[in-house]
Structures are given as structure tokens and as C-alpha cells.
Chain A
């Protein structure tokens, strides 16, 4: 009964709801950023004008949605392709047992909208790749609560591509959307504030993340030493050899029958080599590459992310950045506690943010050969023998317009030289990806029709 009262008090006294937050937002302070404007406008910005996108509605996502709405960010979108599983319920607190099987994004949004007065959370039950630039462009801040490198890289690539530049190569203000990336693994985590083309992007610091553990094939085939070797052997070699459920059935890690087969096969192998420790649960962990998830680590990292969002939005205090002493906070909770906030450097040849798009103005009717001539003459490019490609129309791939560097592609694309560029470039502002042996880095060329 008491707890219900506490919950309701939020509704009863709206004037005092944001009291503490307003104390911060209403007056200047020594730690405020240079462009902080205390007062009602900042409050309006926070509650009404800013739209935040939360990517992922899992362990971090639940925490982020709670933290951000309680901080006053009332307009939020959340995107997640997953559905709720029983094993999520121990830490993803916006979900109940009856929600199992439903969309994480939808259930989380409904819960927050019911619980936090005034909150308007819009769910998107789909893959991040199903949304396009127009969608991502709507947000002023994007927060990532993801568990895979691949999804982070995709988001990073997308957000960096939204930045626009004037003819002098300066960023058009407001087109580089700040992104706060949170991540946890067991007792460790990180918060990384990415301001495209200002701080290093995710691709710049990618080498810092250890690649997925792959075992040497020869170890798997000949001399397994650990229980994990046995499971990997069953998964990578024996499955393809035996095809226990028919030639067309690929291994499906969510299928209990497949897991049982994998477990029994790995166990036999382990016994043969005198290795202990292969259990069904262990097999599932290795095969699905399950990372332990700790609720409290999610809470720590999400809270740090949410505060960065507040600082980015209002400048009430300086946010994590290269100038403020670090854009990357690492949290090591595994052996006592160690945290450090540091800066990395941007990579000049970063394939995502090292690219500085060069604009060239051309007439719509010119041929590919004429376009290449123009690029050879252009003093900013000075190409000799370029390969050129454009993004594909439909899928998230590419189309090669011309590539002289590989014989079999050259033979099939040299006829394109006489075709008009409009066969590939349908509107002004399409971005070409250009490689030339004379250039150390890849160039992006924006073709503008005059």
C-alpha cells in the first residue's frame, strides 16, 4: 500500500516533479558548458523538443528507457528486433512472464508510457538495418544499448553518413548527431561518446575490441585440449560431416534437438581425449557464444550513458569528449574496481569518418568516362586509374560502375564507360566510393548535378 502511494505522488504534485533537475537547469554553474543557457527554454528543450533514439531494448535498453524518462526526456523512440525470452526476466525489469514471446521494444514502450506520466515512447519492432537515413535523421541524440560489434558498426556507419559538409569541408552544424554507446560484459563495461567527425568514431577504435575467439582448425581436428575445443569441433566439423538432421538442415542453436546432438557429440569427443567439463549448459554457452549478463553492471553503464545524454542535450555540464579529458569511460569491475576515462585519436584513414566527401558538380548527361576524366583533372582528387561504385538501389549493398583493378570485373564493367552516369546516379548528391592505387585512402565523391 505504501509503495503505491509513493508511486502516485509523482502525479499528484507535478510542480515538484522535476524540482532537483530544475535546480541544476535554472542557474549557471562553474562546471556548465560554454553554451549552457539556464532557464525555461532549456527545460522545454528537454521535455518537448529533443527526440532521443534508444537502440536496443534489452538489459541496457530497459535501464536506459527508465533513466532517460525519469531525467525528463519525454520523447523517445526505441528499436529492437528481439522478442522476450524467459531468461531475460532476471534483469530486463520492464518485462513480465506474460510478455514472453512479445516484442521487447513494444512491451518496454508500453510499460514506460504507463509508468511515467507524460512519457511518449514510440517502439519499432524491427532490425536497425530496416530503417533508413530519413528515420535516423529525426533524432538529436542516439543511445546504443547493444550486444554486438556488428550492430554498433552499422549504427556508427549510418550516423556518420548523416553528417553534411559545406564546400569548405566544415560540418554543417547539427548534422553530426552525437551517439552514446554503452556496453557491458559480465562485471565490465564501457561508455563511449561519439561525436561524428569530432571524436573518434566506433570504426576508428575497432581494433581495441578483441576479435571473436576462433580456434585453429588443426587444434579442433587433431588435438583438442579444452571442453570448448570439443564443442567447436562438433559444431564446425562434425555437423557438416554427419548432417544428423538431413543434408539441408543447418545447425540452429535455438533448437533443443540440435543442441542435444551437439552436446552428445562433444561429450564423446571429450571422453575420447580425457577432457572433463562438457555439459549441456556449457555446450549451449559455447555454441551460442553467450556472454554473462550482470544486471548491476547494466545499471551502472546505462546510468552513466543517461547522464551523458543530459549533458549533451543541455550543456548543464561538460560531456565526455576529447577536450574534457576523455570520450571513453571504461569500467572494470572484475578485480576490485577500476575506472578510467580516456581519449583515443581519430584515424586519418578511418573507412567511416576519415572519409571527407569531395563534391563535384557535373551535368546530368555526361558518361562514366567523362566523369572519370573530370575526377582525374580535379586538383582535390588527381586520380590515375579509379574504381567507382555506388550504393545499391534496393538492398544495402553496392553496385560497381567501373573497376579496372581486377580483370574479371574490368571485363564486365569497361562497357559502362560509354553509358551515361544517370544509369547509376539518379539524383544529385549520391555518394560514390572511389579507390585508386595512387591514393593511400579511399575517397567519397558527392556527385552534384548542375
Chain B
């Protein structure tokens, strides 16, 4: 049974017009940091930036739900490139995965020219035990092991499957400044 005596006391105090609460009113304002943001701070302590290929930039240190990640592959087709991703952590994180968008135009089978990324753990294989570090590793892995079987940029995927040297060349060209996407692939 709920604490009858205490409830009665409180009720009596209310009736007596005493404005001070029985608890002494020191409820610390009862303010709490939402669980999603606490979780992000926890994710960040794992030192993702220890990897030399990864940089994080928080435009506002008080808004840890929005940040940019720059990946610099040190091997593979995209070696030497710099690719920026915008991260937006939803308020129901980690129940829902982070939202990511590649803000660098890239010629890649699994990233389209608008920056949408096809990565399993960002979609149907997301699990709350995964964290921001896992997502960054997953994105980095796309540059080491692109998957043309499951394409988002069909042209890139087909070129990779059909003509690997031409694909390599096209990727190299795309790494130059000012790449805005290919209008026609017929010439490869």
C-alpha cells in the first residue's frame, strides 16, 4: 500500500495552506539530460578519432546530436580522397540508427550522387548495441570493400562489374576537385 501517513500529512499541509512541500522542495530542478544525448556522450568516449583516417567536427559543442565526420581512406580505390559525412542523431537513438549523408560528391556503387548511403547497419540491420563508432567503421569499410551487388549508384556498380580498369579511372577522376557527377559513362 502506498505510504498512507505521508500522503495524509501532505494533504493536511496543503489544507493548512503551507506552500512549502513536505520534501523540502530540493528536487534539483529535476532536470535530466535526455537518454539519447547521454548515450551519444558515452559513444564518443571510445576514441574513434584514434584512427588516423577519421576526423570529427562538432559545429556546436552543446549540440552533440549533429556533427560531421571526414573519412580519409588510406588504401583502396578511393585512397587519397576526403569524404565528409553529415551525422544527425535522432532523439530516439539508439533505438533508431543515426542518419548520415555524404556531403562530398563521390563516384561509388553504394553512395548515390545526392549523398545517400546504402549500408546495412544504417537500415535493416541496425541494433541498439551498435554505436557511432560502428557506423563510422561501416562507412569506412565501404571505401575498402565496395559492394556492386547491392548498388545505389547503378552506373558505378555496373562499371565496376564490367570494366574494372575504367572504373578505377573514373574513381580517380572523381577525386579531383570540382567533381559533380558523370553525365555519361559511354566514353569509358
Contacts and interface: CB of A to CB of B under 8 A. Distances in A.
A241 to B, nearest CB: 8
A49 B4 contact: yes
Interface in B100-134: 110, 112, 114, 116-118, 120, 123-124, 126-129
A315 B64 CA distance: 45
Interface string B47-69: 10100000111100111100000
A222 B34 CA distance: 38
B58 A427 contact: no
A37 interface: yes
Interface residues of A, number: 79
B62 A392 contact: yes
A427 B32 CA distance: 14
Nearest to A172: B23
Contact of B62 (A133, A214, A399, A430): A399
Interface string A418-443: 00000000011111010111000010
B123 A387 contact: no
B38 A433 contact: yes
A390 B116 CA distance: 34
A137 B30 contact: yes
Contacts of B150: 216, 218
B26 interface: yes
Nearest to B57: A408
The majority secondary structure among interface residues of chain B is: loop
A161 to B, nearest CB: 4
Interface stretch (B6-14, B71-79, B173-181): B6-14
B92 A149 contact: yes
Contacts of B34: 154, 157, 396-398
Given A41-B4, A413-B61, A217 B33 contact: no
A403 B28 contact: no
Interface in B129-169: 129, 150-152, 154
B32 A203 contact: no
A87 interface: no
A158 B32 contact: yes
Contact of A211 (B55, B118, B126): B126
Contacts of A351: 35, 38-39, 42
A198 interface: no
Given A137-B27, A408-B57, A409-B58, A45 B49 contact: no
B27 A446 contact: no
Interface string A117-149: 000000000000000111011001100000001
- Pick from B27, B39, B47, B126 the residue with the most CB of A within 10 Å: B27
A164 to B, nearest CB: 8
A207 B97 CA distance: 13
B3 interface: yes
A133 B28 CA distance: 9
Contacts of B95: 149, 153, 206, 209, 211
B31 interface: yes
A50 interface: yes
A217 B142 CA distance: 15
Given A352-B35, A437-B45, A442-B38, A409 B6 contact: no
Nearest to B154: A222
A137 B6 CA distance: 14
A428 B129 CA distance: 34
B2 interface: yes
B172 interface: no
A405 interface: yes
Given A352-B35, A397-B63, A407-B56, A218 B151 contact: yes
A221 interface: yes
A408 to B, nearest CB: 5
Contacts of A390: 33
Contacts of A153: 35, 92, 95
A140 B44 contact: no
Nearest to B22: A174
Contact of A37 (B4, B92, B112): B4
A400 B37 CA distance: 11
B42 A427 contact: no
A228 B38 CA distance: 35
A314 interface: yes
B68 to A, nearest CB: 9
A387 B35 contact: no
Contacts of A400: 41, 61-62, 64
A132 B126 CA distance: 32
A443 to B, nearest CB: 10
B152 A218 contact: yes
B26 A50 contact: no
Interface of A: 33, 35-37, 41-42, 45, 48-50, 132-134, 136-137, 140-141, 149-150, 153-154, 157-158, 161-162, 173-174, 203, 206-207, 209, 211-218, 221-222, 237, 240-241, 312-315, 351-352, 387, 389-392, 396-400, 403, 405-409, 412-413, 427-431, 433, 435-437, 442, 446
Interface of B: 1-4, 6-8, 11, 26-35, 37-39, 41-42, 44-47, 49, 55-58, 61-64, 91-92, 95-97, 110, 112, 114, 116-118, 120, 123-124, 126-129, 150-152, 154
The 10 closest A-B pairs by CB, nearest first: A133-B30, A429-B28, A391-B31, A315-B1, A398-B33, A161-B32, A49-B7, A435-B45, A218-B118, A409-B61
30 contacts: A42-B1, A49-B4, A50-B7, A132-B30, A132-B31, A133-B29, A211-B126, A214-B126, A216-B118, A216-B124, A217-B117, A218-B150, A389-B33, A397-B63, A398-B34, A398-B62, A400-B41, A400-B62, A403-B41, A406-B49, A408-B58, A409-B44, A412-B58, A430-B29, A430-B31, A437-B45, A437-B46, A442-B38, A442-B41, A446-B28
